């Protein structure tokens, strides 16, 4: 299931860039639950720290998800989404906010 065609095209761009370097890599995919949690993590980072931290927070989540997979931990979409949610909720508690995607579906 594709989250948005932009991300499918972006994945193809990354695959093509890797192939130009002689490295065959399949295009990455974006799970819907993971994408929701990444967007929520970005929102929390932007609102509790600095706006420019949002993309770096999501990048860090992706790096950690890959490290989980490499360590042999469950790394399916549901497991990764749950991990990101746990960290995001911790950040919200520490900042004294709590506006999850479920609580604010008007966005």
Q: What is the pLDDT of residues 3-37, one digit of tens each?
A: 789 999 999 999 999 999 999 999 998 899 999 99
The 10s digit of each residue's pLDDT in 47-85 is 999 999 999 999 999 999 999 999 999 999 999 999 999
Chain centre distance of CA 91: 15
Q: Which helix (H) or strand (E) holds 62?
A: helix 53-70
Where in the chain are the domains?
1-29, 31-107
Q: Please, is 43 exposed, middle or buried when counting C-beta atoms within 10 Å of its C-beta (0-12, 13-18, 19+)? A: buried
**What pLDDT, on the 0 to 100 scale, is given for residue 97?**
73
**What pLDDT, on the 0 to 100 scale, is given for residue 99?**
60
**What pLDDT, on the 0 to 100 scale, is given for residue 106?**
40
The pLDDT mean for the chain works out to: 90
User: Which residue is listed with tokens 């370097």?
Assistant: 21
């Amino acid at each position: 299931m594709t989250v948005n065609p932009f991300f499918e095209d972006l994945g193809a761009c990354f695959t093509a860039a890797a192939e130009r370097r002689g490295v065959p890599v399949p295009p990455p995919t974006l799970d819907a639950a993971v994408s929701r949690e990444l967007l929520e993590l970005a929102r929390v980072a932007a609102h509790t720290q600095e706006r420019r931290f949002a993309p770096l927070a999501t990048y860090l989540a992706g790096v950690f998800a890959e490290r989980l997979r490499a360590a042999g931990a469950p790394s399916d979409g549901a497991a990764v989404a749950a991990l990101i949610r746990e960290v995001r909720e911790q950040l919200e508690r520490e900042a004294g906010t709590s506006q999850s995607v479920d609580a604010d579906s008007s966005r």
